[in-house]
Amino acid sequence: MLNLVLFGPPGAGKGTQSAHLIEKYQLVHLSTGDILRSEVAAQTALGLEAKKLMDAGTLVPDAVVIGMISSKIDANPKAKGFIFDGFPRTIAQAEALDTLLQQKETAISMMLALEVDNEELTKRLLLRGKDSGRPDDSNEEIIKNRINEYNTKTAPLKSYYTGQGKFSAVPGIGSIETIFASLANAIDAITV
Ligand code: AMP
């Protein structure tokens, strides 16, 4: 199986690149942000609880997202592989993911990091907020909090996957096609 973790701060382009990667490599796309947003839209108990944190740009508890990912992995027994987008976001989530995949006799193949500087990220997120209507993209303070959450809780995952020899970084600035070509090169380097 090809199991990819797409890594990068909010606004790095993970969603856009995921769409291209699933098509080329026939992977199942699991985005915890998308799953949470559909829970919010359906007004489930989980969605109502998560909404407050999401609107503030704060991470929801590990147990919530780990449970969601676990059931999505179970729901796709025939998948050729998964692309994890916006998950894991903490070391505890990464450890839980390793355990879940081990139970399926598979593992993360690599973490692909999209690197974009903070100034460009804020610019992109404010622009996206105008179109997407996402409450967490529309306010500079909330965006700052999301980037701060990323730097304190998520950035340490770089060392986690480097320690496993699975970290690969790609510049996240340039055209969608150029960035995609760099990601595909990195993947093909481990699969051929
Ligand atoms: P995203 O669309 O990935 O930027 O996620 C939007 C929001 O959902 C985040 O700001 C968090 O509040 C929440 N969220 C998404 N994925 C996770 C995760 N893996 N762990 C904790 N919170 C998450």
Q: What is the pTM of this model?
A: 0.93
Note the pLDDT tens digit of each residue in 13-66. Answer: 999 999 999 999 999 999 999 999 999 999 999 999 999 999 999 999 999 999
Residue 132 vs residue 33, higher pLDDT: 33
Q: Where are the chain's structural domains? A: 2-27+79-191
Q: What is the CATH number of domain 2-27+79-191?
A: 3.40.50.300
Q: Answer yes or no: is pLDDT of 70 > 70.
A: yes
Q: Answer yes or no: is pLDDT of 187 > 80.
A: yes
Atom of ligand 1 nearest to the CA of 32: 16
* N-term to C-term CA, the chain: 13
- Residue 83, strand partner residues: 4, 29
139 alpha carbon – ligand 1 mean position (Å): 16
Out of 60, 66, 128, 138, give the residue to mutate to test ligand 1, the one with the largest number of ligand atoms within 8 Å of its CB: 60
* Closest CA to ligand 1's atom 2: 33
Given a contact cutoff of 8 angstroms between Cβ atoms, the answer to whether 112 and 4 are in contact is yes
185 alpha carbon – ligand 1 mean position (Å): 28
Q: Answer yes or no: is pLDDT of 192 > 80.
A: no
d(CA 174, CA 151): 23
